[in-house]
Amino acid sequence: MNTITHSSSALASLSTAQVMELAQRYLTPNYKRFPVCLVRGEGSWVWDAEGNRYLDLFPGWGCGLLGHCPPRVVEAVQAQVAELIHVPNTWYTVPQALLGQALVERLGFDARCFFCNSGAEANEAAIKLARLYGHPHGRYKIISCTGSFHGRTYGALTATGQPKYHAGFEPLLPGFRYAPYGDLEAIARLVDNETCAILVEPIQGEGGIQIPPAGFLEGLRQVCDRHGLLLILDEVQSGMGRTGRWYAFQHWKITPDIVTLAKALAGGVAMGGMIARAEVAEKLQPGTHAATFGGNPLAARAALATVETIEQQGLLARATAIGERFRQRLEALRQRAPLISDLRICGAMIGIELHTEGEPIVHACLQRRLLINCTQRTILRLLPALTISDAEIDQGCDILAEVLTSLES
């Protein structure tokens, strides 16, 4: 048995090959990993164990809204870890209370926050609350959309409208129905007297940066009002300023009943949250739901630093500017690279749909030290940090152009 050590020198002494060998020996094989071991990050850059530097346009799978190791978050975490890391929610803590205030004040309506550790947990909380709210009236069914992604825990997995993620885990949680994203009439047809809620992403992320058609979200609000349903918006990927608004739904001037957050919420520290309209949140009385680590002082302090950074650095406006710069560069590239069939951009959520498989392009970019993502087989997905510079955007687009035009030729 080896002696355990966490010293920086010992960690730095391991090569990528050694880390891969350890991972293959001791970790479950449920992740498809690139043969790269990342050891350090700063802003939009990461370094591997051999010292190679990569431009990251998909930091933390969307968690890196502020880039890697954002200074205010690092400072806040270092301060908090020396004061109080964790206590259960049988006690009040200052960071959690202040974070609740910060999120609700930017929401636009009276609401209450429940904190957890991930997007899947946040959506599980929303599902439980919706069913709890509808229970006195025999309502338990939830409508979600095809192409959606809400998480991999059992309820969130069932809500996810992609059969490929369901395979092998049946029977799933009963009471879920699916309709095409953007098809208001199809959703309305699924409503019956046992329906309690509609759950959608305002912008589908894993589905390929699918932006809703005009009137869709407003129409969902009307359907919910007409039938007494809760409207749940999954903002795990689109929230916290990524689209140029604190919450993506604010582009459409609607009021949801429940909003879920995670990913960028705490600047890279694991945290999720569910925010529910005050009247709805009252159903969550003691004993109905809980999360041992939810809203712990460390994560809450990191989230407060994230909110502060977004506000003080004007990153909502920056998200909009980032989207416009990518749009200009990618539209120009589209004229030279017919492989691009469509562009979908909302702030710093960028989808590049292709006429071909996207995975080889991801690998070709990796060889050129550029990190991007492919979803739904043919869609390149970029979720850059809001702290990315124009020069870094241009550098990433130059590499992407080199890869795409080389494939064309």
Specify the 3-state DSSP secondary structure of 161.
strand
Residue 12 has pLDDT above 80, yes or no: no
pLDDT tens per residue across span 43-92: 999 999 999 999 999 999 999 999 999 999 999 999 999 999 999 999 99
Binding residues for N(2)-acetyl-L-ornithine: 152
Annotated binding residues: 119-120, 149, 152, 234-237, 292
Within 13 Å and on the Cβ side, how many CA atoms surround 204? 24
| Nearest alpha-carbon partner for 175 in 152, 192, 153 | 192
Band of residue 193 on the pLDDT scale cut at 50, 70, 90: very high
Is the model's pLDDT at 2 over the cut of 80?
no
117 in Cβ contact with 272 (< 8 Å):
yes
Over the chain, what is the mean pLDDT? 97
Closest among 8, 98, 67 to 392, alpha carbons compared: 67
**pLDDT interval class at 11 (50, 70, 90):** confident
Residue 363 banded pLDDT, cuts 50, 70, 90: very high
What does the alpha-carbon distance between residue 374 and residue 127 come to, in Å, rounded to a whole number? 28
| This prediction's pTM | 0.97
Q: In the chain, which segments carry CATH 3.90.1150.10?
A: 14-68+314-405
Residue 408's pLDDT is what?
75
- Average pLDDT of span 315-320: 99
Predicted confidence at residue 280, as pLDDT, reads 99
Question: Which ranges in the chain are annotated with CATH 3.40.640.10?
Answer: 70-311
pLDDT at 3 over 80: no
Average pLDDT over residues 144-155: 98
Reported CATH class of domain 14-68+314-405: alpha beta
Which backbone phi and psi does 382 adopt, to 5 degrees? -120, 130
Q: How far apart are CA 243 and CA 245, in angstroms?
A: 6
Please check the confidence at residue 371 and state whether its pLDDT lies above 70: yes
The whole-angstrom separation of Cα 127 and Cα 145 is 15
Does the pLDDT of residue 390 top 70, yes or no? yes
Contact status, residue 239 vs residue 248, Cβ threshold 8 Å: yes
Query: Where is the binding site for pyridoxal 5'-phosphate, in residues?
Result: 119-120, 149, 234-237, 292
The pLDDT, as a whole number, for residue 6 is: 73
Span 278-298, average pLDDT = 98
Domain 70-311 has CATH 3.40.640.10: yes
Q: Identify the pLDDT of residue 97.
A: 99
For residue 4, pLDDT over 70 is answered with no
Which strands sit side by side in the sheet containing 349-354, from one edge to the other?
340-346, 349-354, 379-382, 373-375
- State mean pLDDT over 252-272: 98
